[in-house]
Amino acid sequence: MVFVVDDLQIEDLSEVYVKWNEMYLLSRSEKFKESDLENFQKAINDWAINGYTTETYESLHKTYVKIPYRLSNKKEVEKQIMENVNKKQ
């Protein structure tokens, strides 16, 4: 499936994955120093690509994946989804 939406590149997704893992590991600590909490706050603010929230991605997923999937005949789904999305643009 293609991941390019609004200039969102695979490198951006990789960066988000790394940041999310760092944030997760930090959240699993049993004791926090003040600097840990500051780093955690920064990670929370920085982890989303282009400053978007998860609601943005949910909305994009519905628009570009769920709805076109429902409109497809379930055969060669990716091809139909891409054709449907390209028509919208």
**Predicted pLDDT at 1:** 43
CA of residue 32 relative to chain centroid, distance: 28
What's the whole-number average pLDDT of the chain? 76
Residue 21 within any structural domain of the chain? yes
Better-scored residue on pLDDT, 79 or 7: 79
Residue 1 within any structural domain of the chain? no
Helix axes 34-46, 10-27, angle to 10 degrees: 150
DSSP summary character for residue 51: G
Work out how many domains the chain is built from and give that number.
Answer: 2
Provide the domain limits for residue 47.
Answer: 7-51
Q: State the distance between the two ends of the chain, measured CA to CA, in whole angstroms.
A: 17
Percent of all residues in the chain with a pLDDT value above 90, rounded to a whole number: 0
Better-scored residue on pLDDT, 18 or 2: 18
Average pLDDT over residues 66-81: 87
Using pLDDT thresholds of 50, 70 and 90, give the confidence band for residue 52: low
Instruction: Note whether 61 and 39 are same-domain residues.
Output: no
Residue 72 within any structural domain of the chain? yes
Instruction: Note whether 44 and 12 are same-domain residues.
Output: yes
CA-based radius of gyration for the chain:
18
Residue 2 within any structural domain of the chain? no
Instruction: Note whether 60 and 84 are same-domain residues.
Output: yes
